[in-house]
Amino acid sequence: MSNYPLSYKLSWLPRFLRPSLGGDQEGFAAAAATLIEPPPVQTIRLAFVGDISAVANGSAPDCDPAIAALLGSADLVIGNCESPVVDRPSAAMGTRLGTHHAMTERFLAEALAAVGIARERLVLSLANNHVLDQGVAGFDETLAALERLGIRTIGAAAKGPVERIAIGPLSIGFAAFTLWRNADATSFASSVSMQADPARWQRDAFDGHDLLCAVPHWDWEFRHLPRPDTRALARRLAGHGVGLVAGHHAHVVQPVERIGKALVAYGLGDFLGTAFSRQPWPGRIGAIFIVDVSTDAGSRGAIAAYRLHAFMRLRAGDHERLVAVEALEGRMRGKVEGRLKAIFPSPLVGEGGREAVG
């Protein structure tokens, strides 16, 4: 019922056990840059995080105060809701085995509080392969739970390819879609956006935005460098006026690329573990992608600066502990920094706060 090619399926376990650094390393950008000089007087801050799931977490995570402060500095946090939010899983056996995802409303609320994300400043994408793991009824239950929590969503098929969200004085359009599904095509496409081709979006989808942002669930899992097809889609999105792309699904951190005026972060890894509780260390590196967007009259909607902040998800009993890379100790810090240097031409793991991210 899924749409993964056979070669993808056969490579899943080897790549999970040993995430790959293979692929084209040319043309990527630094992990941080200031794009407007002098900096704008006023900006709004977006913080993109990776996949969110309870698979590797029996309870809410512990969080480094620097990470919570960084997330608290954002005017809007955007992440991927990788697990349906249900009281009781309908796919009980698959959920126990970890092949089907699920998290409770209580877990999500406690996890957000633990990491410093205010619900009213959060947007969650539902456009991913696992969102129908508990069936269409589980998808409907997820929508209801997130509405009760006051969390906005993007990526539902019924809402069209682009959804507009006002952030301060700016209007930002979000186009969330997935290339992958774990359910049959008919039921999936009726619930979840798979509209990846901007040439097929309605003409008015491009109108009235200060910035158009894509949130794709794409690429192949456990590969640090995006595949050529993924980079080609990024160029296609940029060519149709998408100015910012923040991707998911690879479950490992991937590079940043500048395509003309567009900025692409191919993959942010997991924010809360979506795979098994015991996972090889490269798959435990995540990233928070901070983007400051100008609200000044002369550069309204332009990306002023960006910075990728890397962190590590460490085991702590039945849950995870989120630790900034610079707070790691010993051999693990050296291993993580070495992996980041292999991915980014100039990696910056940085510190929290509201200061300029360049």
Task: For 156-206, give the DSSP string.
Answer: BGGG-S-EEEEETTEEEEEEEEES--SS-HHHHHHHB-----GGGS-GGGG
Residue 87's identity, in one-letter code, is: D
pLDDT for residue 354: 37
Bigger pLDDT: 276 vs 326 = 326
Within a domain: 357: no
pLDDT for residue 278: 81
pLDDT for residue 57: 86
Considering only 211-220, 325-334, 345-354, which range has the smallest mean pLDDT? 345-354
Residue 351 has pLDDT above 50, yes or no: no
C-beta separation of 54 from 272 below 8 A: yes
Q: What is the mean pLDDT of residues 232-252?
A: 97
Within a domain: 273: yes
Domain count, the chain: 1
Task: With both helix axes pointing from N to C terminus, report the angle between 65-72 and 105-115 in degrees, rounded to the nearest 10.
Answer: 100
Within a domain: 348: no
Q: What is the mean pLDDT of residues 116-135?
A: 97
pLDDT for residue 347: 56
- Residue 203: burial class (beta carbons within 10 Å; 0-12, 13-18, 19+): exposed
Residue 358 has pLDDT above 60, yes or no: no
Q: What is the mean pLDDT of residues 31-46?
A: 96
Within a domain: 302: yes
pLDDT for residue 92: 81
Structure token digits, residue 261: 């005026």
Query: What is the overall mean pLDDT for the chain?
Result: 93
User: What pTM was estimated for this model as a whole?
Assistant: 0.95
- Cβ atoms within 10 Å, residue 73: 16
Strand ranges (E), the chain: 32-34, 43-52, 62-63, 76-81, 122-125, 152-154, 163-167, 170-178, 211-217, 244-246, 256-259, 262-265, 285-294, 303-316, 319-324
Confidence label for 355 from pLDDT (cuts 50, 70 and 90): very low
Within a domain: 135: yes
Q: Provide the residue range defining the domain that includes 307.
A: 44-343
Tell me if the bond preceding 14 is cis, omega within 30° of 0: no
Q: How many residues does the chain have?
A: 358
pLDDT for residue 107: 95
Within a domain: 96: yes
Confidence label for 274 from pLDDT (cuts 50, 70 and 90): confident
Within a domain: 351: no
Q: What percent of the chain has pLDDT over 90?
A: 86
Within a domain: 92: yes
Alpha-carbon gap, residue 36 to 303, rounded angstroms: 8
